[in-house]
Structure 1
Amino acid sequence: MAEHNDLGKWGEDEAVFYLEDKGYTIIDRDWRLGRRDLDILAYTPDGSTLVVVEVKTRTGGKYQQPEEAVTPSKMRNLAIAANAYVKECQVDKELRFDVISIVGSEHQVKSLQHLKDAFNPMLIL
């Protein structure tokens, strides 16, 4: 596996640990629709909302902050994939899009930021 893939997998694992610690229930990971993917799908602690979590991981913050990599094009792809997931799995819950931004390496999380309700896909479609 390429080094950036290892970093991304590590970041997703850290995001899952974080979410579970906060009471979220992870229901799926790396769900794919063609070339589009959803990193993490989870229910909020109260079970009322399905959260699509996009995880962005970087080793350092000197170039672009991880959450800045969630472009309008990426948001659109997430919305399309989430729509397919909701239909396929017959989800009847509120839907929210979050971003978890992680800076660090496989040895240490330097920072983790959870941006709840990071974007509304209806504003970009």
Structure 2
Amino acid sequence: MAQHLELGRAGEALAKAHLENAGYEILDENWTHGKAEIDLIAYKDKVIIFTEVKTRTGTAFGQPEDFVDARKQKLLADAADEYIYLMDHKGDVRFDIVAILFDRDKNYILNHIEDAFWPSGT
């Protein structure tokens, strides 16, 4: 398996464990709609949280969360709209980012950014 895929899976597992330990219920993992994939869909306090996980091994090109650009936000919003429709959710929603930065020794820093963005048009 490609190294970047392994890194991504490790990051998603850490993010899932972090959310569960913080009292979130995980509703779905790697949920897809069209060209978009939502890494984790969680639920807490009557809010559905659409979570993008970004995992990196360095910051030469920016922090992991910097890679959730406007295009990615639009894809996530479109997929979230479909999920909300399918689940007939009438409550609040939120978009979070869990950014994970590994060092060479496999130590990591996890940064959970709540309400990280609100895609335009949503």
- TM-score, reference length from structure 1: 0.90
Q: Deviations over 1:69-91 (max 9, x none)?
A: 00001001100000011111222
Superposition RMSD in Å: 1.6
Measured in 2, the distance between the counterparts of 1:93 and 1:6 equals 35
> Paired residue for 1:95, among 93, 96, 101?
93
Assess if the C-alpha contact under 8 Å between 2:47 and 2:91 holds in 1: yes
Q: CA deviation at 1:6?
A: 1.1
1:32-47 equivalences in 2 (<5 Å) = 32-44=32-44, 46=45
Report the 3-state secondary structure (helix = DSSP H, G, I; strand = E; otherwise coil) of the residue aligned with 1:120.
Answer: coil
Segments of 4+ in structure 1 off by > 6 A? Answer: none
Report the 3-state secondary structure (helix = DSSP H, G, I; strand = E; otherwise coil) of the residue aligned with 2:89.
Answer: coil
Report the 3-state secondary structure (helix = DSSP H, G, I; strand = E; otherwise coil) of the residue aligned with 1:26.
Answer: strand
Q: Deviations over 1:33-84 (max 9, x none)?
A: 122110000012x3x1000000000012232210000000100110000001
Aligned length: 121
Structure 2 alignment gaps of length 5 or more: none
Q: CA deviation at 1:109?
A: 4.0
Assess if the C-alpha contact under 8 Å between 1:102 and 1:109 holds in 2: no
Report the 3-state secondary structure (helix = DSSP H, G, I; strand = E; otherwise coil) of the residue aligned with 2:117.
Answer: coil
1:82 aligns with 2:80: yes
Measured in 1, the distance between the counterparts of 2:83 and 2:107 equals 30
Instruction: State the identity %.
Output: 39
Report the 3-state secondary structure (helix = DSSP H, G, I; strand = E; otherwise coil) of the residue aligned with 1:113.
Answer: strand
The residue number in structure 1 matching 2:9 is 9
Measured in 2, the distance between the counterparts of 1:14 and 1:109 equals 12
The residue number in structure 2 matching 1:117 is 115
- TM-score, reference length from structure 2: 0.92
Assess if the C-alpha contact under 8 Å between 1:97 and 1:118 holds in 2: yes
Measured in 2, the distance between the counterparts of 1:12 and 1:67 equals 14
